[in-house]
Amino acid sequence: MLYLRLAALILVRTTVRHWREKIGSYLLLLAIVAVGVGAFNGIRQASRSASANFGLFNQAISGQSDFLIESPTKTLSADVLYSLGPLSGDPDWHLVPVIEGSITSLDGDGEPQQQLRLVGLDLMGLANLPNLSEAKFDFGEDELTWYDWLGSENSVWIGRKTAEKLGFDEGEAIKFIASGRMREMVVRKIIGVESSSFPDDLVIADLPTAQLLLSRPNELSRIEVIIDRPELRENVDYLETIKSRIARYLPENLAVQPTQNRAADRAAITAAFRLNLTILSLIAILVGAYLILQALDAAVVRRRSEVATLISLGVSRGVLFLTFLLESAVIGSIGSVIGIGVGWLFAYLSAQMLADTVNALYFATTIEAISLTWMDCVFGLCLGFSFTLLAGWLPARDAMQTPPAQVLSRGDWSPGFSWLRNRWIGTVLLVLGSLLLLLPPFPLEAGGKMAVGGFLAAGCWILGAALLSGHLLVGLAGLLRSFSSSPTSRLACSRLHDGSSRHRLAVAGLVVAVGMVTGMFQMVDSFRGTIEQWFNVRFQAELYISERGVTGAGTINGIDPSVMSELVQDETIAYADIVYVSYANPPEGITVLSGVDMEAWSTTIRQLWLKPPGSLEPVEGSEPALISETFARRFGLLEGGSIELETTTGKKSVSPIGIYSDYGNEFGTAAVDISTWKEWTQSERPINVSLYLNEGSDINGVRDRLRLSYPGLDVRNAAELRGVALDIFEQTFKATSALNGIGLVVAFAGLLLGLLAIFDESSRTWLTLRHLGFSKNQFLLSAGLEGAGIGLGAWISGSLVGLALGWLLIFVINVQSFGWTLRWQVPMADFLTFGSLLVIAGFLSGLLAATYWSHKNK
């Protein structure tokens, strides 16, 4: 209690007054905390809102449903409704068949405007449900009788937001592209805004209408089950009995599961993506914490003599420790509060970008309004607060160790951080990191994996290298000293060679930044290099045709088979490589089953082969397949073998005869022959086609002709598609490079602060040198050289650990998380540029810090 009172007294009398005097630096500190917390929170919110849509969709339509009946491929024939027999008549529940697919709305000029999600419901059935619930959709007050639903074949219901955005009113016609055809519908009703959870991109139609639009007659996506007694919804036992009762009557290829599972399933699909973002935002906050540490430590140094005097007056060290900790706590809390606001802004600005990325790579999404929950606030506050406190810990300890004034007055005094001199901690961390690599990856839901060992090893290596970098700096300075003759360079080298804790801290912070940035360099470069090479092989045909408006690799809708067969009749086509795709269930999670022309794929069509077709013996009794590397790694089929996949028609075994690289999805693909695929999936819908034209054809002429005849299809030549595909990957790395930039800026700021503290601490040395006739320019030059030396040392250590990180990212983390092998590329030019930048920045920081110092000590 007395402690606290004293600490408060000192805080008010000294700390707060220092703040007032240096209001600029403290505002900067607050800004740092705010940006750190903001980046973290913002990224969290943005990625959540971008993927929230998966879950939301469920809540909106089937928020009222308790179970879903689905097939492994997520499609089923409407005929199953009859085969459900006793299930459909049961008074305890209602069955709602649903079809779902994506369509693209067109503007007045027939250009694609927005991608929408079409859901077909049995409206009549829905209207007859007994008091479905509070949140039931309002399909129009006066349309509650069943005959009003008649004649809705050409009508759709859309949400108010979409209607406003696209400029439609009730009763107007709206044009869509669906399944490669253009369609016209009437907007029957605009659904009011009362249900705020209604997704932006939702279009509702009667079941037959939706089936027609998607040209999937007689097909369903799933059947939703709504229990008749809403009051028992929360009753686990009741739900369990219902579930088992349903399961009993279900045909073999169908499964019933609680509604939330679906949302979870889809959310998990983006888990890997979100994981990356989370790690990046954690880095942002860590880097922020480092800056705070530097700044608070500089404050301790500045106030060293004050602290010493207080100790001489009998203020206990505990009180001083508490005071400095309180100081960082205050900064932490104010900064975090601001950070939450900053985060909201950041999320608001970046959500679109993130949504685009998620969109392109995974599923079509729209942006849900950015929501700031209480959890976010609490989480952000706690995070900012605890990191600032942690960052304040070392400086506070440092302050506590200040000797009393009478000792301090004897000379320069550089205390604390003695562990920075201990080479064992760093060495042990490096070894520990290498051992952690042996940890197996941690399986996530939906079949993804997280390279736990890899991430932990990365952390250990970075920290270890940072701790050891001080020794490297000392050695380097010793080496350089023997080459230097001028008094300025000698002075700089001798000071670095002395290796004070503060020099070590400065270089350690830089090493962390350099290591991470150069590691990321390599990954992005390797990724880009590999992808480009992959594209060269992949885009070997002249023209590529897919459904228009669908950009996502994960969206499975497909092209109307009759459109396809008409299209491939074109006489300029030498060969059409038609590809079919559907989901299939491996023993765990989900994967992709594709149907291809096996004959052509095994001979003429080029791939990046990891194992060329024929190099693996297929297992007797299994369907021979070409599998992607991801698939092979996921199911341990790199050396052959077989795996069972559950399809519409039951469990089927596939066995690889070849393995190709595919960077398109992280769930893996198994490609079987088209006839087999059709038989297994009971579907005829292709997803896309690559056209090889007759020799001498005018590629763009054919493209334009096809575009005119098939307005619903997306026809592109190889170059165009390459551009689009590369864009997608560039987008993925946008956030990465932005954070890299922040990391660098922060590292330099940290170096500057560190050098300021160093020069402050050596005031006596400089004053003495000044008395000895050291000119101001000599002082500045020497300070610049000192900074440059730290930059050089940090670059060498940082590049070493960066190389290790690059290796780790490419050969451990990527392989374990996504099953991708990338070609490791070390961008030498970037490394060197970066090194020179660091040395120059170090020199400038030294110069700047020294200028500031001499300005202050005029």
Partner 1 sequence: MTTTQSENAQYALSISSARKSFGTVQVLKGVDLGIEPGERIALMGPSGSGKSTLLNCISGIEKLDSGTITLHGQVISDLDGGGLEKLRRESIGYVFQSFHLLPTLTAFENIELPAQLINMPKDERREKVYHMLKSVGLSHRSDHKPDALSGGERQRVAIGRALIHSPGLVLADEPTGSLDTQSGEDVLALLEKLSVDQGVALLMVTHDRSSARICNRVISIQDGLLI
Residues that bind partner 1 (CB under 8 A): 2, 6, 9, 13-14, 17-18, 21, 305-306, 308-310, 312-317, 403-407, 409
Amino acid at 42: G
Based on CB atoms, which residue is closest to partner 1, 15 or 350?
A: 15
Are 103 and 549 within 8 A, CB to CB?
yes
Question: Cα separation of 367 and 353, whole Å?
Answer: 10
Minimum CB distance to partner 1 smaller for 232 or for 405: 405
4 or 9: whose CB is closer to partner 1? 9
User: What does the alpha-carbon distance between residue 714 and residue 772 come to, in Å, rounded to a whole number?
Assistant: 78
Q: Where are the alpha helices (DSSP H) in 762-827?
A: 763-771, 776-808, 814-818
The first and second tokens of residue 841, run together, are: 């920045």
Contacts with 6 (C-beta within 8 Å, 6 or more apart), sequence order: 315, 316, 319
Rounded CA-CA distance 55/447 in Å is 18
Closest approach, Cβ 44 to partner 1, in A, equals: 40
Nearer to partner 1, 86 or 314 (CB): 314
Provide the β-strand partners of residue 770. Answer: none
List Cβ neighbours of 457 (8 Å cut-off, separation of 6 or more): 433, 434, 436, 437, 808, 812
We find the least distance from the C-beta atom of residue 310 to partner 1, in angstroms, to be 7
> Minimum CB separation from partner 1 for residue 6, in Å?
7
- Shortest distance (Å) from residue 9 CB to partner 1: 6
- As measured in angstroms, the least distance from the Cβ of 15 to partner 1 is 8
Judged by CB, which is closer to partner 1: 117, or 302? Answer: 302
Measured from the CB atom, is 288 or 416 closer to partner 1? Answer: 416
Q: What DSSP assignment string belongs to 150-171? A: TT-TTEEEEEHHHHHHHT--TT
**Closest to partner 1 by CB, 86 or 858:** 858
Closer to partner 1 by CB, 315 or 840: give it: 315
Can you say how many angstroms the Cα of residue 665 is from the centroid of all Cα atoms in its chain? 15
CA 164-165-169 angle, 5° bins:
35
**Biggest CA-to-CA distance, the chain:** 103
- In whole angstroms, give the CA distance from residue 716 to residue 544: 5
Among 348, 197, 363, CA closest to 270: 363
Q: CB of 405: closest distance to partner 1 in angstroms? A: 5
For partner 1, the closer CB: 17 or 606: 17
Amino acid found at 367? I
> Three-state secondary structure along 409-476?
CCCCCCCCCHHHHCHHHHHHHHHHHHHHCCCCCEECHHHCEECHHHHHHHHHHHHHHHHHHHHHHHHH
Min. distance of Cβ 19 from partner 1 in angstroms? 10
What residues are paired with 257 via a beta bridge? 68
Shortest distance, position 404 Cβ to partner 1, whole Å? 5
Side chain identity at residue 743, one-letter code: G
How far is Cα 170 from Cα 188, in angstroms, rounded to an integer? 6
Nearer to partner 1, 407 or 832 (CB): 407
Residue 18: CB minimum distance to partner 1, A: 6
Shortest reach from residue 333's CB to partner 1, in Å:
23
